[in-house]
Amino acid sequence: MAQSLIRGRLLTFHAEPQGLDDHASYSYEEDGAVLVEDGIIIARGSFAEVSAKAASDHGVVDHRPHLIVPGFIDAHAHFPQMQVIASYGAELLDWLNNYTFPEETNFHDTQHGRRIARLFLNEMLRHGTTTVAAYCSVHKESAEAFFAEADSRNMCVVAGKVMMDRNAPPMLTDTPQTSYDDTKALIAAWHGKGRLHYAVTPRFAITSSPEQMEMAGALMREFPDLHMQTHLSENHAEIAYTQELYPDAPDYTGIYEHYGLLGPKALLGHCIHLSEREADALSDTRSVAVFCPTSNLFLGSGLFDYQRYRRRGKPLRIASATDVGGGTSYSMLRTMDEGYKVIALNGEKLNPLASFWQITRGNAEALSLAERVGTLEVGSDADLVVLDARATPVMALRMERVQSLAEELFVLQTLADDRAIVETYVAGEAVKSSL
């Protein structure tokens, strides 16, 4: 098969950096290359070493002096919310009722769903994101549209049809049985096809009855390799309403615990206002708390205590995410810029090496996908992003004073947007330039 050699400055992480001087946590090549065959990285290292391993007819793409890192990973987003991003003046429950729910009623139409899925994945790729965990609408058609569009691009995605049988407009509700039947049919059609992964997706406890939560738990028992994604402890009014609906539960987390929905592949969006008991429950089950800083700030939900959650006696597994459309940017760079500020407001700092670990290997580990994405390791899928830290006049001027890799990463995190994404590769194929 044809090989391609992608040349540039390479950065990939082995472990979470504990500080700016933790050089053992990553590998960096000033003049490096990855050799790709059939969408897989088959060699990585210095250009001289890797080019010597390549077949004689290989092609070379030279991205010097730009930086090549693994494709970014977004652990929580809502593709049906593209057309309500940047909607004014609401906190969580009003946001859902006034903007999200009316918008999602349109997704019974497969053609509409396919159009928005196409535009959504275009934006992901334009911003360097090659893997996303996405919520579809309650309609089976929306999930079919999303998976079909992702599969046509050979993207690695996690997604699922939302399950909602109460506290939503009639056009957005299913039943416990139809949610089970539709989800099971979608699993059969799409899970494991190409690079697609299915997530059982009860939206949150407010919109799922106990009977539907039982069905979600039954699906997880039937298909234990699946992901599960939902929302948890985002907003004080949400928490109070949830406790009214489930008065016998010890707390919000206890609802998901009771129905068997926690575990290593459980992705729980937000997790801002957890009690110590709830944090222990997530830690004990190795469930994942998903940090969504732009959304949390935009909706006024609160400040996720990232460093405390990682430092506690029972640390939490954490992912980061845009949460579009409550989140206000498709960019994981912008996400970590806002994340830095949230963490700073909690009296801590997050070093830029750790930020880039988080949106690559860290998120891959949180999604249980690190064997295939999130690194430049040999055997990984060749999902890459090429970054230009001088992409804008402001960035170029700032870079005149930059003297280290960590400083360059912080410039990218703080000042970059999609203009800094020179190219995005999905399974070794350049895709941004063709959008």
Report residue 55's pLDDT band, with 50, 70 and 90 as the boundaries: confident
Q: How far apart are CA 229 and CA 341, in angstroms?
A: 26
8 A C-beta contact, residue 250 and residue 209: no
- pLDDT surpassing 80 at residue 144: yes
Q: Which residues pair with 232 in a beta bridge?
A: 270
pLDDT for 40 beyond 80: yes
> How many CA atoms lie less than 13 Å away from 289 in the CB half-sphere?
28
pLDDT of residue 409: 98
CB distance 263 to 285 below 8 Å: yes
pLDDT at 254 over 90: yes
pTM over 0.85: yes
Mean pLDDT of 207-231: 98
Residue 280 has pLDDT above 70, yes or no: yes
Give the model confidence (pLDDT) of 337-380 as tens digits. Answer: 999 999 999 999 999 999 999 999 999 999 999 999 999 999 99
Mean per-residue pLDDT of the chain: 97
Q: What local confidence, expressed as pLDDT, does residue 57 receive?
A: 73
Q: Which two tokens stand for residue 312?
A: 């506690």
Kindly report, residue by residue over 328-338, the tens digit of the pLDDT: 999 999 999 99
How many C-beta neighbours within 10 Å does residue 201 have?
Answer: 27
pLDDT at position 1, please? 60
Where do the H-state alpha helices sit in 61-209?
A: 92-95, 101-104, 110-126, 140-152, 176-190
Mean pLDDT within 78-93: 96
CA distance 66 to 74: 23
Interior/surface letters 58-96, b for 16+ CB within 10 angstroms, e for the rest: eeeeebeebbbbbbbbbbbbbbbbbebbebeebbbbebb
Q: Name the E strands within 15-155.
A: 26-37, 40-46, 59-70, 72-78, 129-135
Nearest Cα to Cα of residue 324 among 101, 75, 79, 73: 79
- How far apart, in whole angstroms, are the C-alpha atoms of residue 197 and residue 116? 20
Share of the chain above pLDDT 70, in %: 100
58 has a pLDDT exceeding 80: no
Provide CB contacts within 8 A for 393, sequence distance 6+.
none
How confident is the model at residue 59, as a pLDDT?
Answer: 82
- Confidence band of 433 (pLDDT split at 50, 70, 90): very high
Q: What is the pLDDT of residue 56?
A: 78
